[in-house]
Amino acid sequence: MFHSRLRAAALLAGMLGAMVLAQAPARAAPAPNPEADRLAFQAYFRKNYPAVKNSDWGNGPYALNAGMRKQWEAIMQFPPYEFALAAGEKEFNRKFANGRSYADCFPNKGIGIRQNYPYFDTKTGEVVTLGIAINRCRVANGEKPLGYKKGLLAAIETYMAHTSRGKPFDIKVPNDPRALAAYEAGKKFFYSRRGQLNFSCASCHVQKAGHRLRGDILAPALGIMAAFPIYRSKWGEMGTIQWRFVGCNKQVRSVPFKPQSKIYRDLEYFLSYMSNGVPITGPGARP
Amino acid sequence: MSSAAVRRGTLALTVAMMLAPAMAAAATKTDAEAAIAAARKAEAAAGVLQNQWLPTEAALKMAAKALAAGKYDAAVATAKRAHALAELSIQQAREQDKLWHNEVVR
């Protein structure tokens, strides 16, 4: 079983997972084609989980497991992200010392735009996540940058996601070699086996989506960014996508990267693009 | 990682662990420092490939602690384990550089 495999000796886990691969010769690298990738990716999930509605992919494990869904519906009567939502809204509307505010930094004054992040900034040549955009706004207005895992930044994101609920992901990969390279780097990271346990993100969130791992049901990779930020009972607070990446790297015994490092931004870019068309459900709540 | 590589890695690890106590009996401070330096170098190479493993880091820390405590035999043994793990992670990164294409949903 998957559960015991993860707990078994690390090398054994590696061998089990890799035997199939060892026989297949590596495929040649095709030219990047994000839209073809996205269509194949979504077709895979829709074919394997035909009962899941489009609006439900952003509900992570709850989309695939009726038992967990019941618990979740009970929790959502008093959503645990309410405090962060209120704090985030207050901060969002606060005036900086120079009289400006967050609204001045974003399209549509920052309301209902979460589905457009991350985007590729053709000026700087890099991926800009919502977290990066929030800190850029602060720094440009003389405020200190915030930490990227939790706290006030997660609260602001909570508010911004909340104003965007129901809006489908609409990520763009411009036809710019730098944007395509960032997309490919994220894609490669997602599919590469890592850590002493030799798992890729796809090993768990594609090949084993909906299966149980310890107490958890594995969320499907389609829509996996849509609920963030999330209140996670295990964290006891709101956390960002980037914090979750750190945790998922560590559990395969891989040294994690810094939140908002280039590779994590590229990863978020790839995963968000794969979810184009799936509506934002965040802020979310998880066990 | 291919199963052949894992087997090779397992072998390297086993050999390292078998040799370690025999050599450690006579380990000096210089031996310990050299073993740690070599392991750190391999771990830095894994870092360039963006593929370090947590157990390697843990073993490196333990080795440094043993060195500081004057336990040179333990320092050498643990550094060699760290070194073997770092080599495995390098091998994994090199192989995944090509093999990741096989996992892509298409």
pLDDT digits (tens, 9 = 90+) for B59-73: 999 999 999 999 999
Q: Is A248 a catalytic residue?
A: yes
3-class state of residue A285 by DSSP: strand
In this predicted structure, what is the pLDDT of residue A76? 84
* Residue contact B54–A187, C-beta within 8 A: no
Q: Tokens 């870092």 identify what position?
A: B47
For A55-107, the pLDDT digits (tens) are 999 998 888 888 888 888 888 888 999 999 999 999 999 999 999 999 999 99
From chain B, pick out residues whose CB is under 8 angstroms from the CB of A13: none
Residue B15 lies in a domain: no
State how many domains chain B has: 1
Range of the domain at B45: 25-103
Residue B18 lies in a domain: no
Residue B88 lies in a domain: yes
Check CB contact of A192 with chain B, cutoff 8 Å.
yes
Indicate the pTM of the whole model: 0.89
CATH number, span A34-72+80-286: 1.10.760.10
Q: How far apart are CA A3 and CA A12, in angstroms?
A: 13
The sheet carrying A237-239 orders its strands as A237-239, A230-232, A284-286
Interface A-B: count of C-beta contacts within 8 A = 86
Label the pairing between strands A212-213 and A216-217.
antiparallel
For chain A, what is the mean pLDDT? 91
In this predicted structure, what is the pLDDT of residue B99? 97
Within 10 Å of residue B49's Cβ, how many Cβ atoms?
15
Check CB contact of B22 with chain A, cutoff 8 Å.
no
3-class state of residue A199 by DSSP: strand
Label the pairing between strands A284-286 and A230-232.
parallel
Comparing CA positions, the residue from B50, B47, B49 lying closest to residue B60 is B47
